[in-house]
Structure 1
């Protein structure tokens, strides 16, 4: 029976220490050959989807945690943060000396500190080779100052406070205006407008494509996958998922380093 599978990227099909394995790539191709619908469902904005993932046979993308949705290269929805709000937040984070990254459908904008922290993982010499194919193309990268010169293209922010107290202060200051998605175990956090979530993105596609909810599957690992795994008919948590994600899942597969998506596909006879 044809399934509609919504797949997270980071920590699910992509490891930040080893990249994406050939087994996972082959499993995605095989699942598509077997007639299933495959959709990316990620916190990344569209501009941060790397060329490796773009080369795989996904039917569509739910990006920026639900703020941007497209199928077959057709944009169905892209909720941008208002320019006045973005510039106000840029001024606020600059004053707070918090690094920030602004992601949109076309570009990624950084301030200097945000860019340094955003790419810090890739500086680990043990990760450089694995990360190279997944780096954001240079033509998609811009400095934050370029946004002020007229480019209106931001779905979400990533913020890098200096410590946990600084993080709490920033969240208190901005939570009235935006919905914060805090990443447990990490000082950095991301936020999108109120009402945006991966689950809402999936609901949109289920309605738009007239899909049967009974055949929906979601796979993820992080707290921004909680609503997605609760909404779909079958929620799958990665072995490396946060405990609260495993608690809402119907099935827990293996770790991303053990090709957990492949194991789940085989377990469910997707491949």
Structure 2
């Protein structure tokens, strides 16, 4: 394995975030320790960058953030790269989402996520209690929070730069039908889809994913593609896993994800799996070799 990587890329949901959508102080501690040893640590998440601050402990710092599954990259407040969905595609997808009555959140850059007022009834219906058994707790809590406080309900789309579309359905059958519809839309306008659970799908610019985001981040920091390590748990991490030198899946990842990686953590995201893995491998090896 890479005993002292030059750069580490960490997914959020199901990885450094527990199922209550919080990053622990132990995870912050290990990231600080790695950075003190000269190792670059980056977030590579499907979440929009504006979502991150409320999920991490005070003083949490990394070298850079890749957000929205590779759509944007940041060095602190500085924008390294940004891709944007075309307004034509956004409008077409909203029209089709309305026909299918599928929950959606549209993420403009620099503004709150939005949905249209005329779609509010069917969107809220998808988040009605009780929680479906197959929906992950972290995803369910995020949707309830979005409905309660975070979605800006609009009469019409006013922005023109968008980082991603997120879609959710309370049944797998519903979201699978929507995925099929997205494939139909792709025949007219190309784009990339990404999946992080059995109940969601996200839309980004064509040929954009976490791996393309990592390439741009490495270029910006003048780092080589060698001796890179990534930790994640779901399907939207697969491009990242295929790109880095050493890929690690969380214990709570699916068997499909675990089959393609180099290693698996001993503990889940709820038991500080990232902390224990990095402490027992990277940090321990670094100390041994000094």
TM norm. shorter chain > 0.5 = yes
Structural mapping, 1:187-206, within 5 Å: 187-206=199-218
Aligned-residue offset at 1:10:
0.4
Once residues 203 and 47 of structure 2 are traced to their aligned partners in structure 1, the CA distance between those partners, rounded to angstroms, is 11
Once residues 120 and 81 of structure 1 are traced to their aligned partners in structure 2, the CA distance between those partners, rounded to angstroms, is 32
Q: Partner residue of 1:158?
A: 166
Structure 1 residues without counterparts, runs of 5 or longer? none
Once residues 114 and 130 of structure 2 are traced to their aligned partners in structure 1, the CA distance between those partners, rounded to angstroms, is 18
Q: Partner residue of 2:93?
A: 89
Which of these residues, 114, 120, 141, is aligned with residue 109 of structure 1? Answer: 114
Aligned-residue offset at 1:39:
0.7
Once residues 140 and 77 of structure 1 are traced to their aligned partners in structure 2, the CA distance between those partners, rounded to angstroms, is 25
Query: For the structure 1 residues 162 and 51, does the alpha-carbon distance in structure 2 shift closer, same or farther, using more than 3 Å as the test?
Result: closer
Q: Partner residue of 2:73?
A: 69
Which of these residues, 141, 148, 153, is aligned with residue 143 of structure 1? Answer: 153
Q: Partner residue of 1:248?
A: 260
1:37 matched to 2:40? The reply is: yes
Structure 2 residues without counterparts, runs of 5 or longer? 132-136, 285-290
Which of these residues, 243, 265, 290, is aligned with residue 231 of structure 1? Answer: 243
Aligned-residue offset at 1:7:
0.5
- TM score, norm. by length of structure 1: 0.83
1:47 matched to 2:50? The reply is: yes
Structure number with higher relative contact order (C-alpha < 8 Å, ≥ 6 residues apart) = 2
Q: Partner residue of 2:287?
A: none
Aligned-residue offset at 1:230:
1.7
Q: Partner residue of 1:60?
A: 64
Structural mapping, 1:164-175, within 5 Å: 164-175=172-183
Please give the secondary structure, in 2, of the residue aligned with 1:170.
helix
Query: For the structure 1 residues 168 and 244, does the alpha-carbon distance in structure 2 shift closer, same or farther, using more than 3 Å as the test?
Result: same
How many pairs are equivalent? Answer: 259
Q: Partner residue of 1:258?
A: 271
Once residues 170 and 278 of structure 2 are traced to their aligned partners in structure 1, the CA distance between those partners, rounded to angstroms, is 40
Higher mean displacement: 45-54 or 235-244: 45-54
Pairwise CA RMSD: 2.9
